[in-house]
Amino acid sequence: MTHYADVVKIYTRDGDDGTTGLYFGGRVAKSSDQIEVNGAVDEAQAALGAARSLSEPDAPLNDLLVTLERDLWVLMAEVATSSANRHKLTANKSLVTSAMVVRLEERIDALSEEIEMPKEFVVPGENRLSASLDVARTVVRRAERIAVSYPLEDSFVVAYLNRLSDLVWTMARYAEGSHHRTTRVHD
């Protein structure tokens, strides 16, 4: 039996003054550019999660979406770190790396080999999963536009978001079904 005193409270009241805590310490206004970026990325992560809820649990797209959602935790940690604490960031844990961007490119290339790319504009909505991925792509693209306004020195955040939107677009085409597929995806 759980006692009331044992329950972890989700609220801290620390943000009631309009500020929020940063990774490795410090506080900034909830309206700061840094938090605007993370808010948009948080929305993108949730949109990817909504798309994942429509994929088959053992499908390659499901596994890829989980990986992407976890990558966005890394990206948000980097963004939520003050410039004075950037030296504390750890590659692939709290710092986006060039290898993470390259992995996205490799996934784009692999999926592109499995489908015939459309030769005209795509009308979203072929099915629920592809439509959800198209929505997620637009949210990722918005996060990228916001991130451009908050440049981080020696960072791959914007490049990651740019490639992520390309990958999610490709995933949506793959999810549209067999009329785009040239072969079966294998991992």
CA 92 – CA 98 distance, rounded (Å): 10
- Is residue 66's pLDDT more than 50? yes
What pLDDT was estimated at residue 69? 98
- Is residue 185's pLDDT more than 70? no
Most confident among 117-121, 153-157, 180-184 (mean pLDDT): 153-157
Question: Mean pLDDT of all residues in the chain?
Answer: 90
**pLDDT tens per residue, range 11-59:** 888 778 888 999 999 999 898 999 999 999 999 999 999 999 999 999 9
CA angle 14, 16, 17 (to 5 degrees): 95
Nearest to 118, CA basis, from 166, 64, 184, 179 = 179
**pLDDT tens per residue, range 78-89:** 999 999 999 999
CATH architecture of structural domain 32-175: Up-down Bundle (1.20)
The model carries a pTM of: 0.88
Average pLDDT of the residues in 158-183: 86
CA atoms lying within 13 Å on the CB side of residue 24? 17
Of the pLDDT bands very low, low, confident and very high (cuts 50, 70, 90), residue 120 is confident
From residue 86, how far is each of 8, 81, 155 by CA, in Å?
A: 30, 6, 10
Boundaries of every domain in the chain? 32-175
Q: What is the DSSP letter of 124?
A: S
Of the pLDDT bands very low, low, confident and very high (cuts 50, 70, 90), residue 9 is confident
What pLDDT was estimated at residue 2? 61
CA 146 – CA 2 distance, rounded (Å): 43
What pLDDT was estimated at residue 178? 62
